[in-house]
Amino acid sequence: MVRALILYAPGINCDLETKTAFQTCGASVDEIPVKKLEEQTSKLLLYDILILPGGFSYGDSISSGKILSVYMREFLKETVLEFLKRDTLVLGICNGFQVLVKSGLLGHDITLAENANGRFEDRWVRLRVRNSRCIFTKGLDIIELPVAHRGGRVVIKDGVVNATLAYIDEQDKPTMEYPYNPNGSEDAIAGICDDSGRIFGLMPHPERFYLPIQYPGTWKDKIPHGMKIIKNAVDWVEAHTSLSGVHRIIDD
Amino acid sequence: MRRIEIKRKNDIRGERIKRDIEDLGLSSGKMEMLDVYLLYGDVTDEEFLRIAEIVSDPISEEWGVFQFPEDAKVIEVVLNPGVMDPVAVDTLDVIRKIGMKLDGVKTLKKYVFYHTDDETINLAKKRILLNPLIQHVVRDRETLKILESLEKKTPTVPRIYMSSLTEKELLNLSKSMGLFLNKEEMKRISRYFSKEGREPTAAELETFGILWSEHCSHKTMRGDIKIKNQKSKIKNLLKSTIMRVTRELKKPWVLSAFKDNAGIIEFDEKYAVCFKVETHNHPSALEPFGGAATGIGGVVRDILGCGLGAKPIANIDVFCVGYPDTPYSSLPEGVLHPRRILRGIVSGVGDYGNKLGIPTVNGSVTYHGGYTANPLVYCGCVGIMPKTSCEKKVNPNDLVILVGGRTGRDGIHGATFSSGIMDETTQEEFSSAVQIGDPLREKNLLDALLCARDRRLYNSVTDCGAGGICTAVSELAEGIGAEVELENVPLKYEGLSPTEIWISESQERMVLAAPEENLSELKKIFDEYESELTVIGRFVTSDRVVISYGDLRICDIDLEFLLHGMPKTAKTAVIPMGVESGGEAPENLDIESVFESLLSHPDIASKEWLVRQYDHEVQGGTIIKPLLADAAVIKPLPVKGDRGMVIGHGLAPFYKDVYKNASSSLDEAVRNMCAVGADPSRIALLDNFSWGSPEDPVNMGKLVRACEALYDLASAYGMPFISGKDSLYNEFESNKEKQSVPPTILVSGIGVIDDVNKTVTQTIKVPGNPIYIIGCTYPELGGSLLFRILEISGGGEPSVHPGDSIELYKKLHRAIQGGIVLSCHDCSEGGIGVAVSEMCFGSGLGLKINLDGVPVSDVKNPASILFSESNSRFIVEVDGERKDKFEEIMSGSTFGEIGEVVPSGNLVIENLFSLSIARLETAWRSRRL
């Protein structure tokens, strides 16, 4: 069974629905407080997927996700690099995306700053997948998910960043126009993936759309888009661990 | 001390302040806002660079100590000593945790004005940038100390010599100590201590002041009332009206009503849900952000302290404020502008609720001149818990355990501490009346507590609300007794007196009763969730509450007397008389233009700007979200299957006839819920009164009538009340003139439904479908939005016809269950006109309506039909192919077919007007704060 670890930190608040969504997609999920994991970092190596869920880690004091990103860098970086040597995945949702970005796990070319309107914003957005390498968004093109954040504006240092997810308007074009682009993200970026396709961070919440009834309106498609993203991750790990013939001996 | 200043490259905050200044009608040049961190202690250059990297962002910000041009004006704002600064606390934590030594951190906000005159800057300071209760501008050469600590004094136990005082002197003592106890109560206390053979300590008198306060004991609602103009008497108003409904209805699914911190009803075989609504009016008037945030914090702790603790799953917020266009010149001294109040409370509630991870699913804003000086902030919270966690019971020998935040001077009113009596001088610089919330501390407490609950590690729990540890311990100790050592209480800073520790209302704290053998496991859990836990005493079988500070005995009172020895109060009431009738719209009204002013009126206009600032989808269970319908539908996550609940509310403060005001509030709450598909036989209600002083017999008479109305209607509807709260002194005095709030009754409702899929939103869906109205329209436009816009006073106000209404609600429920109804919206403010418009918005469709189909009772002109606010009415879109079935279900009740959904984007009211939806929507969206 695919094993996922949700990293709990003080102020995290989307952990339960993230857990339920991954369980619905067939993974077994544990949640460990960051304080406990710091004491025994090797625990991370027992898992296939590391999830940094949404919320306000450490109250978002200083800036969104900043304090947890400092702890990631100081106490967990080496273990995460070790973890990535296997066929594993890392997913950061909303605050988790902010943590991934600020800890440098998604490169050093972008940051996330406060929304252009200076406010927290909860709304459903339309998105387009622009990166074929990303394991999480495989087979997806145009999707809908809710965002809910105050600090989701992507700022690019310089050059071009390979966006995986872009906010789009009614003509399906990446846009800077509010409310389609809810936070003023440069290049309409809603989420990015590393070059390997295995580390993915996004502002929208896939775990808030793993059931059809979570959609505002009538949902006619078969599988909710959030569930597709999560299922992609679980299926990929499942296929890889059996393909490579490596079965983990470690279990509790 | 070293300083790091941080500039944002895209200074959104600075631009917003510039806009706010321009909103005041002033002109401002460029404006910048910076964050400043002050670091105290020895830091090497290398460490300094590391810290700068932590507190700034390398891409979106730059740091340094900046020079500004000479003509720029710079002000720095710092929190007053004693006001919590969570960012500073968290920053210090992270720096220490990664191995650096630092004595302290302080944060400032720095504002830089370019080409702006002093007068503008002064007004901006006053109206936008700072609130003197919590902040001040850093003065030239002001030394900013790291942590405020009061001068440490040897703790003493001041005694109050009351045994020899006359009645008048007792009353003066009560006043000078700010106890708000009356003559009878003071006499009773004096007699008690004479019997004990000693004089009381100041802490003991404070304890009585708190536990016998209106806030804690609801003595008006539970006391006797003499009705002057009817020569009759009411014994315990609450018991004889609101609680009586619950008693008489005997619903088996009501698990606890008016007992615990919240009312509890059954959800399914395994789970129960609880609901509580609180007011936080006065603190929000003084400091809107902090007041509203701590309002949410408080009601959430009520839910955490209900039974053995419930998981909060939804918040509701209802605000009543003055008109947004109130001129500054008309504001009484000391009153903040309604726009600033609303902005502050919205962001306070958003910040706190969002950070706790509780979706804000339902709410409203009501504007009225009577709320300008007395804004009302209602915060509600719904929780879910296993049925096995509904009961709690302290066992003798359990430990008294304080969990969560630390104790400071927050919420202790300076007035209470006049030095003459207490022999302790309250340092003037300490601003203690205002509380600033720290949502992270509460979230940690929440997570740790629920984890401990699931392992059944404690026997009872309650929150520290009004009166702090004093109230929490005294209430938990009821029937047993407790001994508490105050020296063990962890403090935010040194220098608090024992009495202050005992009665401090610092936020984010709760008290547990747990057996000693569970202590180590409890400690482990709270440590993992980074929440503090301290043993402060023990429950004992002494029937007394005994409080010490080291060798000093602070308080030693008989619990039975403390909790139940209060003399009954007797208030006088004059029941209001006289009923107005006849309320039709004037003839020859320019309906088209009136219609647009209705839609752009602040009460009706879209609240999207506000609603989107709340996370309404966290926890993943919000099925019908705000903006889509009259009430919210949620499906709590731990529960399998399709069962869920409907949450709604109503208030009708514009109706001067208080009986109609109360019954319309209740009806609005119920019809909002029924509009989405609630089952009227499974609805439980909550009442929240905000009133003027009950010392005024007229106010008291209105209170009696309102309670009677709630009893009458809730009984007829078969809906029990499960919880309530009253806030009875909402008055503001300016130039000797008293201004009190209009009688405001918030009725909130919660209803369990079997299947969340069988619910509907208000947006129209399919062209060609017929539109019906359910319920009868009467000529009763008194107090309506139309009359208010036209400045017509008087006129008959809407009644409720309980028998007809409950029949309608049951039938509507059947129709929604059967899938025959595709959309439904109730008619409230602005009547049919506003309801049909709102159903069009966002649908891309239009409506064709003919008012001839509206069943009326003696209404003469079309404007009256269109804008009457008669209760218990709905507009519904019915599946065109199942019209017959719908009519069959509704037969015997008042209903009529009034039109159909059309593909074009127009709202057509036949024979009156045809307006484009886009135009109406523009009017509706025209307001923004």
CATH number for the domain running over A3-251: 3.40.50.880
Q: Of A134-143, B135-144, B556-565, B887-896, where does mean pLDDT reach its minimum?
A: B135-144
Question: Do residues A137 and A129 make contact, with C-beta atoms less than 8 angstroms apart?
Answer: yes
Closest CA to B658 of B779, B576, B571, B741: B576
Kindly tell me if the per-residue pLDDT of A153 is higher than 50: yes
Q: Is the model more confident about A54 or about A159?
A: A54
Element (H, E) at A142: strand A142-149
Kindly tell me if the per-residue pLDDT of A248 is higher than 70: no
> Which chain B positions have a beta carbon within 8 Å of A67's beta carbon?
90, 94
Confidence band for B146, pLDDT divided at 50, 70 and 90 = low
> Which chain A positions have a beta carbon within 8 Å of B85's beta carbon?
none
Kindly tell me if the per-residue pLDDT of B94 is higher than 90: yes
Q: Residues 6 or more apart from B686 whose CB is under 8 A from it?
A: B263, B275, B276, B277, B380, B721, B722, B723, B724, B747, B748, B749, B750
Best residue in A43, A63, A69, A203 for a mutation probing chain B (most B CBs within 10 Å): A63
Confidence band for A249, pLDDT divided at 50, 70 and 90 = very low
d(Cα B262, Cα B385) in Å, to the nearest integer?
12
How many H helices and E strands in chain B?
30, 37
Q: Residues 6 or more apart from B527 whose CB is under 8 A from it?
A: A35, B533
Q: Residues 6 or more apart from A249 whose CB is under 8 A from it?
A: none
Query: How confident is the prediction for chain B on average, in pLDDT?
Result: 91
Confidence band for B143, pLDDT divided at 50, 70 and 90 = low
Q: Between β-strands B73-79 and B31-40, what pairing exists: parallel, antiparallel or unpaired?
A: unpaired
Q: Is the model more confident about B20 or about B410?
A: B20
What confidence score (pLDDT) does residue B1 get? 87
Question: Do residues A83 and A37 make contact, with C-beta atoms less than 8 angstroms apart?
Answer: no
Confidence band for B335, pLDDT divided at 50, 70 and 90 = confident
| Contact criterion met (CB < 8 Å) for A113 and B54 | no
Kindly tell me if the per-residue pLDDT of B10 is higher than 90: yes
| pLDDT mean over B843-859 | 95
What confidence score (pLDDT) does residue A95 get? 98
How many angstroms separate the CA of residue A128 from the nearest CA in chain B? 22
Q: Does A248 touch chain B (CB under 8 A)?
A: no
Cis peptide bond upstream of B324, omega within 30: no
d(Cα B19, Cα B653) in Å, to the nearest integer?
33
What confidence score (pLDDT) does residue B763 get? 95
Element (H, E) at A166: strand A163-167
d(Cα B475, Cα B469) in Å, to the nearest integer?
10
d(Cα B374, Cα B90) in Å, to the nearest integer?
35
Confidence band for A128, pLDDT divided at 50, 70 and 90 = very high
Confidence band for A107, pLDDT divided at 50, 70 and 90 = confident
pLDDT digits (tens, 9 = 90+) for B590-629: 998 899 999 999 999 999 999 999 999 999 999 999 999 9
Residue B125, Cβ neighbours under 10 Å: how many?
16
What confidence score (pLDDT) does residue A243 get? 53
Kindly tell me if the per-residue pLDDT of B328 is higher than 70: yes
* A229, A232, B719, B884 from A87: Cα distances, Å: 17, 14, 57, 61
pLDDT digits (tens, 9 = 90+) for B798-846: 999 999 999 999 999 999 999 999 999 999 999 999 999 999 999 999 9
> Which chain A positions have a beta carbon within 8 Å of B86's beta carbon?
59, 61
DSSP string computed for B850-869: -GGGS-BSS--SHHHHHH--
| Contact criterion met (CB < 8 Å) for B439 and A56 | yes
Q: Does B90 touch chain A (CB under 8 A)?
A: yes
Kindly tell me if the per-residue pLDDT of B417 is higher than 60: no
Confidence band for B413, pLDDT divided at 50, 70 and 90 = low
| pLDDT mean over B173-188 | 90
Confidence band for B434, pLDDT divided at 50, 70 and 90 = low
Q: Of A230-244, B521-535, B743-757, where does mean pLDDT reach its minimum?
A: A230-244
pLDDT digits (tens, 9 = 90+) for B578-592: 777 778 888 888 998
How many angstroms separate the CA of residue B801 from the nearest CA in chain A? 34
Q: In chain A, what percentage of residues exceed pLDDT 90? A: 85
Burial zone of B883 (CB within 10 Å; 0-12 exposed, 13-18 middle, 19+ buried):
middle
How many angstroms separate the CA of residue A174 from the nearest CA in chain B? 22
| Contact criterion met (CB < 8 Å) for B528 and A119 | no
pLDDT digits (tens, 9 = 90+) for A216-226: 987 777 789 99
What confidence score (pLDDT) does residue B425 get? 32
> Which chain A positions have a beta carbon within 8 Å of B615's beta carbon?
120, 122, 148
| pLDDT mean over B77-83 | 84
Closest CA to A199 of A42, A43, A92, A76: A92
Confidence band for B53, pLDDT divided at 50, 70 and 90 = very high
Beta bridge partners of B801: none
| pLDDT mean over B671-698 | 96
- Nearest CB among B350, B528, B637 relative to A17 is that of B637
Going along A10-105, which residue ranges are E strands? Answer: 28-33, 49-52, 89-93
Question: Do residues A153 and A63 make contact, with C-beta atoms less than 8 angstroms apart?
Answer: no
How many angstroms separate the CA of residue A63 from the nearest CA in chain B? 8
d(Cα B137, Cα B132) in Å, to the nearest integer?
9
A184 DSSP assignment? -
Q: Residues 6 or more apart from B396 whose CB is under 8 A from it?
A: B480, B539, B540, B541
pLDDT digits (tens, 9 = 90+) for B765-791: 999 999 999 999 999 999 999 999 999
Q: What is the 3-state secondary structure (H, E, C) of B108-144?
A: EEEEEECCCCHHHHHHHHHHHHCCCCCEEECCCCCCC
CB-side neighbour CA atoms (13 Å) of B205: 31
d(Cα A206, Cα A21) in Å, to the nearest integer?
9
Q: DSSP 3-state assignment of B392?
A: coil
d(Cα B830, Cα B864) in Å, to the nearest integer?
10
Joined tokens for residue B95? 């720096």
| pLDDT mean over A27-40 | 94
pLDDT digits (tens, 9 = 90+) for A175-231: 999 999 999 999 999 999 999 999 999 999 999 999 999 999 877 777 899 999 999
B691 DSSP assignment? -
Query: How confident is the prediction for chain A on average, in pLDDT?
Result: 92
Beta bridge partners of A213: none
- Rg from Cα positions in chain B: 29
d(Cα B517, Cα B531) in Å, to the nearest integer?
20
Closest CA to B336 of B284, B295, B297: B284
> Which chain A positions have a beta carbon within 8 Å of B633's beta carbon?
none
Question: Do residues B869 and B821 make contact, with C-beta atoms less than 8 angstroms apart?
Answer: no
Please report the residues numbered 40 through 59 in chain B whose beta carbons come closer than 8 angstroms to any beta carbon of chain A: 54-55, 57-59
| Contact criterion met (CB < 8 Å) for B60 and A155 | yes
Element (H, E) at B876: strand B874-878
